[in-house]
Amino acid sequence: MSNDDGIETDCTMPENPEIRRLADWDDERLRRLVSEYASPLYVLDLHRVRENYRRLAAAFPDADVHYAAKANTARPVLRTVHSEGAGIECASAGETVRALDAGVPSERVQYTAVNPPTEDLDIVVGRWAEGDSDLTITIGAMDTLDRLEDRGYDGRLCVRVNPGVGAGHHEKVATGADAKFGVPYARAGEALAEADDRGFDVVGIHAHAGSGISGEDLDSHRELVSRMGDLARSAPVDLEFVDVGGGFGVPYREDEDPLDLDAVAEATREALGEVDATLVVEPGRYLVADAGVLLTDVNTVKETPDGRVIGVDAGMTTLLRPAMYDAYHPIRNVAPDAGDRPALAQTVTGPICESADVFCTDRSIAECRRGDALAIGNAGAYGYEMASQYNSRPRPATVVLSGEEEAVARRRETIADVTRLEREVEWL
Ligand SMILES: Cc1ncc(COP(=O)(O)O)c(C=O)c1O
Ligand SMILES: N[C@@H](CCCC[NH3+])C(=O)O
């Protein structure tokens, strides 16, 4: 079955497990993919994205789901979640353009403006004026209204509120109590009234606590949602939606349990109370994290006084999360005979000239030898998106899968791509 865009919508896999562990991937296929498309390589299973979407949508049957594109902006991902029914939440003009150009209609696109650069407003308002007239702009500061007015924008507007409640897997990803994000809660009613008076089409309120919320963060989530419910009931304008953000966490460690989504959904409904507006949730990571694997070749093995150090060709420029948040990602040796080798304490490091370029330290992994491929799990969210060209390293390719189908969704960069912006400085 396919929808109007010719996108496959029939998900035939009968089971819908809440977790896809790294060990559930087919090692033989991963080995073949990395030898065919070269290393390092992101692999993304669109079928798994669909499963994740369906599980989440089933837990929140009355809610509208807006996929937070920042987790993974690959066009097939945007199309897949849109074909399942998701709107797209965009953090920049670039993401907004990606969503619209992927064929997502403007009424399903929401641009969340955080300290919006001039170019972002020019581009997004430009698209709105040129026909994408049903997109929604979410403001997080009152002076963004002036800047929108200056550009003639009087379209759909949402006000992001700072709920004063933060949560997440690391202090660097808690946004809910960070003054940078949103209009202070106490001034939100005023902000809505002012936006309405000034002629904007005020349609919603928004808040987001942070990213990687676990069961332990449920009280913070409840508090945020309850505040948003109160605000919706006292709002000086009729609202179409109340967006309580995303942030739903996924298990990264092999022994971690999945988030109890039904408990989160129930807490959300209870805390929100009766509101005359649609609940919106805005997940990114939950939909794509375990749909992605990063494959990387072992090129160096050395025994050192500090232990066995393995060098691979992916680094912090390929997957930044371990270096930035000390994030744990499962790692598996997918060599054909890995199961027969001893598990050794090994430190896996990349090729970047930074001592933070480490994927794991003294981790028990089947003995790595030069030429093996390692799979790094849960790499579908904030993996490729946070990749950089530091050390003039080209970014890797992304191959998408769906059942037996596979295709390159993003080609590998070359050194020519990395250097193509250089200009001759004539006076040198
Ligand atoms: C405004 C907003 N919405 C949604 C998300 C999605 O978060 P996650 O990928 O944790 O679901 C984020 C990221 O933290 C965000 O900043
Ligand atoms: N980049 C973060 C999530 C931040 C989400 C954006 N506010 C991570 O990898 O966990």
SS (H, E, C) 84-108: HCCEEEECCHHHHHHHHHCCCCHHH
Separation CA 75–CA 101 (nearest Å): 9
Supply the pLDDT for residue 13: 41
Supply the pLDDT for residue 7: 43
**Matching CATH number, 1-45+288-428, of 1.20.1260.10, 2.40.37.10, 2.40.50.100, 3.20.20.240:** 2.40.37.10
What is the pLDDT averaged over residues 73-77? 98
247 is in an annotated binding site: yes
Q: Are 381 and 77 in contact (CB under 8 A)?
A: no
- Single-letter amino acid, residue 349: T
Give pTM, 2 decimals: 0.95
Separation CA 52–CA 214 (nearest Å): 17
Separation CA 35–CA 274 (nearest Å): 55
Beta strand 156-162 with 201-206 is parallel
Q: Are 264 and 59 in contact (CB under 8 A)?
A: yes
Q: Which atom of ligand 2 is nearest to the CA of 321?
A: 9
Supply the pLDDT for residue 379: 98
* Residue located nearest, by CA, to atom 8 of ligand 1: 247
| Pocket flag, ligand 1, residue 247 (CB < 6 Å) | yes
| Pocket flag, ligand 1, residue 248 (CB < 6 Å) | yes
Ligand that comes closest to the CA of residue 114:
1
Known catalytic membership, residue 11: no
| Residues 377-388 pLDDT 10s | 999 999 999 999
What is the pLDDT averaged over residues 346-374? 98
**Distance of CA 85 from the midpoint of ligand 2 (Å):** 23
Catalytic option among 90, 158, 353, 360: 353
| Pocket flag, ligand 1, residue 211 (CB < 6 Å) | yes
- Single-letter amino acid, residue 93: A
Supply the pLDDT for residue 215: 82
Supply the pLDDT for residue 11: 39
CB burial readout 55-85, b (16+ within 10 A) else e = bbbebbeebbbbbbbbbbbbebbbbbbbbbe
How does residue 367 score in pLDDT terms, banded at 50, 70 and 90?
very high
| Pocket flag, ligand 1, residue 99 (CB < 6 Å) | no
Phi then psi for residue 15, to 5 deg, are -85, 160
**Distance of CA 131 from the midpoint of ligand 2 (Å):** 32
Residue percentage of the chain with pLDDT more than 70: 96
Supply the pLDDT for residue 210: 85
382 is in an annotated binding site: yes
67 is in an annotated binding site: no
Supply the pLDDT for residue 4: 42
Q: Which two tokens stand for residue 418?
A: 């990395």
Ligand 2 first shell, C-beta below 6 A = 70, 173, 175, 211-212, 321, 325, 382
Supply the pLDDT for residue 144: 98
| Residues 287-326 pLDDT 10s | 999 999 999 999 999 999 999 999 999 999 999 999 999 9
What is the pLDDT averaged over residues 403-408? 97
pLDDT at 146 over 70: yes
Using a 10 angstrom Cβ sphere, with 0-12 exposed, 13-18 middle and 19 or more buried, the burial of residue 286 is buried
Supply the pLDDT for residue 154: 98
**Distance of CA 367 from the midpoint of ligand 1 (Å):** 37
Give the count of beta carbons closer than 10 Å to the beta carbon of residue 416: 8
Where is 214: in which H helix or E strand? none
pLDDT at 67 over 50: yes
Supply the pLDDT for residue 16: 60
| Pocket flag, ligand 1, residue 214 (CB < 6 Å) | no
Pairwise pLDDT comparison (194 vs 19), residue with the higher score: 194
| Residues 222-265 pLDDT 10s | 999 999 999 999 999 999 999 999 999 999 999 999 999 999 99
CATH number of 113-283: 3.20.20.10
pLDDT at 5 over 60: no
Separation CA 177–CA 165 (nearest Å): 5
**DSSP H helices in 102-217:** 118-129, 143-150, 188-197
Pairwise pLDDT comparison (170 vs 144), residue with the higher score: 144
**Distance of CA 221 from the midpoint of ligand 1 (Å):** 13
Mean pLDDT of the chain: 94
What is the pLDDT averaged over residues 266-288? 97
Ligand that comes closest to the CA of residue 92:
1
| Pocket flag, ligand 1, residue 67 (CB < 6 Å) | no
**Distance of CA 404 from the midpoint of ligand 1 (Å):** 31
Out of 1-10, 158-167, 186-195, give the one with best mean pLDDT: 186-195
How does residue 216 score in pLDDT terms, banded at 50, 70 and 90?
confident
| Least confident among 7-21, 46-60, 229-243 | 7-21
130 is in an annotated binding site: no
How does residue 211 score in pLDDT terms, banded at 50, 70 and 90?
confident
Supply the pLDDT for residue 134: 98
| Pocket flag, ligand 1, residue 208 (CB < 6 Å) | yes
216 is in an annotated binding site: no
**Distance of CA 109 from the midpoint of ligand 1 (Å):** 15
Q: Parse the chain into domains and list their residue ranges.
A: 1-45+288-428, 113-283
Q: Which two tokens stand for residue 222?
A: 């409840």
How does residue 1 score in pLDDT terms, banded at 50, 70 and 90?
very low
Phi then psi for residue 348, to 5 deg, are -105, 125
Identify the CA nearest to 286 among candidates 257, 251, 321: 251
Question: Looking at residue 210, what DSSP letter applies?
Answer: B
